[in-house]
Each structure stands twice: as C-alpha cells, then as structure tokens.
Amino acid sequence: MKKIILLAVFFAACVQTHAQESYPRFELFGGYSYFNSDQFAERESLHVPGFTVSAAGNVNHYFGVAAEISGQYGETTITGLRTNPQFDVNTYTFLFGPRLTHRKGGANFFGHFLVGAARTDVETFGSETDFAFAVGGGVDINVSKRIGVRLIQFDYLPIKGEDDTSHNFRAQIGIVFRFGIE
C-alpha cells in the first residue's frame, strides 16, 4: 500500500511539473529566404530579395503544425537560345505539415516535414505549379519570452515537375513572435 501511495504522489508531482512547462500556443515567423535551385539549365540562386512567412500552432511542448509561404526572385539564362538571354524567374512555395521542437534554455531547435506546392514563373515562358515538399529544421534564439531570432533554418526542397524533379536548397533567417504563453 505504501508503494501505491508513493507512486501516486510521484505521478502527481510529475504531472504538475509537466503542466508548468510553458510553450507558445502560436508562433509567427517572418524573414529573408535564400533559394538555391537546379530547376533550370544551371544551378541558380534566387534571393533578390526572398521572403518567407510561417505560422505554427503548437499542440504541446514538443509537437506543432506549421504553414509556410515563401517567395524567391532572380534571373536565369536559358541556354540553347540564339543569344542566351536572361529571364526573370519567381518561385513561390506553399507548404504545410508537422513540426517537432526541442525547447532548451535560450534556444529552440526544430525539425519539420512540409508538403504542398511550388509555383514557378519564368518571364515570357509562363508559369507552372508543381508538387513540393521540404525536409529541414533550424534554431531560434530566444531574445525574450515572446520574441526570438531565427538564427538559421535550412531545408531540402525538391519540386516534382512534369518530366523531372529539381533538387533545391533553402536557407532562412528572421524574427519569431510567440503568442499564448502562460
């Protein structure tokens, strides 16, 4: 009987300790996005300037769901044409999926798997929307309880076109705003 009471007290203490862990119920991120793509004849870097905005709802201390929109801009040279002209190119991604976060001290380490679409528009050639997903993660440094700086987010972001898959990489930095912290 003593063991059962001791176990019950221990369990109650653990539950109370776990309940005291605070985490934001909602996070909003905005920042700069650098995109390195092999969608074209040569690998191109699109970042003049790139942007990203994401929102994440956290179910508990570790698990959340994120939605993200990003845009990258640049130029590409289409080889094989008579003068090898440069064309403006824009790529927008619309992604959604689960995120795992480890909150430790002054930093939050996260990883995610996001799925959705990428819309690429090449000047004169038109636009195309394709399946895309991102696998990656990053580190947020806590400036205060409600504000953080995304030190880095790095993603592998393949885009599946009609005929092939491009293997792209993306890096992001910016500011994180946190809401709903008790």
Q: What is the pLDDT of residues 113-122, one digit of tens each?
A: 999 999 988 7
> What is this structure's pTM?
0.79
61: left (phi over 0), alpha (psi -120 to 50) or beta: alpha
Buried b (16+ CB within 10 A) or exposed e, 8-41: eeeeeeeeeeeeeeebbeebebebebbbbbbbbe
In one letter, which amino acid is 151? L
Domain 2-179, second-level architecture: Beta Barrel (2.40)
52 closest CA partner among 124, 135, 152, 129: 152
Average pLDDT over residues 85-106: 90
Tell whether the model's pLDDT for residue 7 goes beyond 50.
no
Q: Which residues contact 54 (CB under 8 A, 6 or more apart)?
A: 28, 29, 66, 67, 68, 69
Name the least confident of 49-53, 132-136, 154-158.
Answer: 49-53
Chain-wide mean pLDDT for the chain? 84
pLDDT for residue 41:
58
CB 150 within 8 A of CB 172: yes
- Distances from the Cα of 53 to the Cα of 2, 125, 129, 176, angstroms: 55, 27, 19, 10
List pLDDT tens digits, range 164-175. Answer: 888 999 999 999
Token pair of 42 as six digits: 């040569």
Quickly state the pLDDT bin for 78 (edges 50, 70, 90).
low
Domain boundaries, the chain: 2-179
CB 76 within 8 A of CB 40: yes
Tell whether the model's pLDDT for residue 14 goes beyond 70.
no
pLDDT for residue 64:
97
List pLDDT tens digits, range 39-48. Answer: 665 666 666 6
pLDDT for residue 42:
63
Q: Which residues contact 8 (CB under 8 A, 6 or more apart)?
A: none
